[in-house]
Structure 1
């Protein structure tokens, strides 16, 4: 599977591809999933946004049967354009079972450099079976609250708005635990008022042509929406777990064994 929008720089995409091939060869791993994260995948890039490629890698079975395991992260050289790194499957599965929304979001990215659909779908199915909705909601709530601390900028506001809309999406989909990754999809799939959606899309359009939005005041309609959603989501702080930890661990182990067998 590959899904590369025309808006991405072909030279940069080629370099990302090269780094993925090199990482696979240098570390003797399989990379069944490699996507774009960050503002480009979240749906609100700036002209100078860097490229944040994230990937999941799987080692050969014998590499997991050692007293001296290798690092569970692979990193490539970081610069102003490229940020390419990945997580071992074991690390990814453990984080998913703990309700880490970042690991789950990688599976919903609209930008895919390379991917095995069966692997993605199986890992998504596992996430739906083991993730606590409360953990996902708390993740987005805490991310938004953290971004509200410090100097307020329009750029930072996007990092508050997206989690707020994700919380609305979770409220609108009570049987699901894995929201879309990008802001436009979150808006389209939730009950956000049309006026809020229009204001958000206007702000996205402004960011797309501005290298640095800088300090500024977001539209009142958006700040009020964020305040309401975050306040409403406080209920998730005391939400008790619903999953049996033993069942969660068993499902996670079973999935992991199928991938390294």
Structure 2
């Protein structure tokens, strides 16, 4: 699969950290009142980062939050609270506003701090970038040519 061969999980992890950082700036604090539906914009990148860490930053996490949670270790109370939010979201479009549930707030604060302090620097691997670009261009050419047959 092309994507798995050209995407650098280390760079994706930095992207997830940036997403978490921007949502934390919007929320203000982990004790704040939030739109509960939008809380997923903070939960997802931190769960993804933990999944990647637990899998050695060797591959990309599943896109599905429940699938991600099922493939990683997370505190029991946190997992239950996140699954409860997922269940509530599946039953209603609007979840209202409220405080971040305690187990989730503790998890988010701890894991955000952990990843901020321990995120690896991404090396500027010119050879890898050139190889990835060549692979992507070859794939694109093959797909375009197949469309003309």
User: TM-score, length-normalised on structure 1?
Assistant: 0.48
Is 1:150 equivalent to 2:32 in the alignment?
no
**What secondary structure does 1:148 align onto?**
helix
CA RMSD after TM alignment:
2.0
The equivalent position to 1:259 in structure 2, one of 134, 140, 143, is 143
> Cα–Cα, structure 1 residues 196 and 170, in superposed 2: closer, same or farther, change >3 Å?
same
2:132 aligned residue (226, 237, 248): 248
For 2:52, the equivalent position in structure 1 comes to 170
User: Aligned pair in 2 of structure 1 residues 236, 211: CA closer, same or farther (>3 Å)?
Assistant: same
Partner of residue 30, structure 2? none
Structure number with greater CO (CA < 8 Å, separation at least 6) is 2
User: Any gaps of 5 or more consecutive residues in structure 2?
Assistant: 28-33
Q: For residue 146 of structure 1, report the CA deviation from its aligned partner.
A: 1.5
Query: Quick one: distance in 2 between partners of 1:249 and 1:153?
Result: 40
CA shift at 1:149, angstroms? 2.8
Query: 1:131 Cα deviation (Å)?
Result: 1.5
Counterpart mapping for 1:107-126 below 5 A: 125-126=1-2
1:260 Cα shift?
1.0
Task: Check conservation: 1:164, 1:230, Cα contact below 8 A.
Answer: yes
CA deviation vs aligned residue, 1:191-221 (integer Å, no higher than 9, x gap)? 2222221111112222233342222112211
Aligned length: 137
SS at match of 2:18: helix
Deviations 1:94-118 (A, max 9, x none): xxxxxxxxxxxxxxxxxxxxxxxxx
Using a 3 Å threshold, how does the CA distance of structure 1 residues 224 and 129 change in structure 2: closer, same or farther? same
Partners of 1:172 and 1:141 lie apart in 2 by 16
Give unmatched runs, 5+ long, in structure 1: 1-124
Q: 1:240 to 1:227 in 2, by over 3 A?
A: farther
- Whether 2:8 is the aligned partner of 1:132: answer yes
Matches for 1:16-27 after TM superposition, within 5 Å: none
More strand by share: 1
- State the match for 1:193 in structure 2: 75
Structure 1 residues 171, 149: closer, same or farther in 2, change over 3 A?
A: same
Question: Which sits farther off after the overlay, 172-181 or 250-259?
Answer: 172-181
